[in-house]
Amino acid sequence: MGRVALLLFLFALTVELSLGISHEIHLLRPRLASGGHPASGLSCPSWRLAVETNNIINWDTVPQACESYVGHYMLGHQYRQDSRVVVYEAIAYAESLKLGGDGKDVWVFDIDETTLSNLPYYAENGFGAEVFNSTSFNEWVMKGKAPALPESLKLYNKLVSLGIKIVFLTGKGEDERNVTVANLKKVGYHTWEKLILRKSSDESTALVYKSNQRKKVEESGYKIVGNMGDQWSDILGTNRGNRTFKLPDPMYYIA
């Protein structure tokens, strides 16, 4: 087995063990772009940096030339390391807080690609390079098999131990409440103060929807001490909380 093939095998095995993803569903072949070199004039690492810094916005799919690059990033060590840095900073911040002691300090978490990972689905559907298919994605969601992001689960456990209440705020539909509750509990998220899902009548953008829901949380007497998501629309807008944290996600963009 060559060095590149061995590295790919080890990457896949790492993800399989940590997130429960079968290595059989993402048999990636390395391309020049996955090694950091331009593909068809496009620098995929530079594209990802621009996405993560919100300089490239309103994009629909990962560039075809970067499918392999994004796949290797998501399945390799770098995605986990990048997530770990965010979570370590969040933990350090949470430990520094002087809480009110009234049980009203809350931390807002997004769900998809923040607390639960849909990587098994995206590994079979082009890592964001294919046009999003809501039907097949919803079928995946209804299976309730999304694994936890290990770093986020670590943060969740720390927050609970500190006495900070958890609010899950997601764009998932209200009709997915039961499967979402079961999925969260199955992978280790056992308690929370609120689980807010989108009503079918709410057609606002994600940014407006989440801003409005956070406002309602604060109007009911809670103080948002922290807010974490994988999309900029999770942490921008109004009523964002005292501090925000963004996890990496180069697979899709939600406005």
C-alpha torsion sign, points 107, 53, 67, 85: negative
pLDDT level of residue 34 (50, 70, 90 thresholds): very low
Element (H, E) at 194: strand 194-198
Contact 110, 234 (CB under 8 A): yes
Q: What is the pTM of this model?
A: 0.85
Distance, in Å, from the CA atom of 159 to the CA atom of 128, rounded to the nearest integer, reads 31
Say whether pLDDT at 228 is over 50: yes
- In this structure, which amino acid lies at residue 10? L
Contact 237, 211 (CB under 8 A): yes
CA 137 to chain centroid, in Å, comes to: 15
The fold for domain 3-246 equals Rossmann fold (3.40.50)
Q: What percent of the chain has pLDDT over 90?
A: 83
- Smallest CA-to-CA distance from 229 within 146, 127, 111 is with 111
Mapped onto helix, strand or coil, the DSSP state of residue 119 is helix
**Considering the chain, what is the average pLDDT of its residues?**
89
| Higher local confidence (pLDDT), 251 or 21 | 251
What token pair was written down for 180? 């979402």
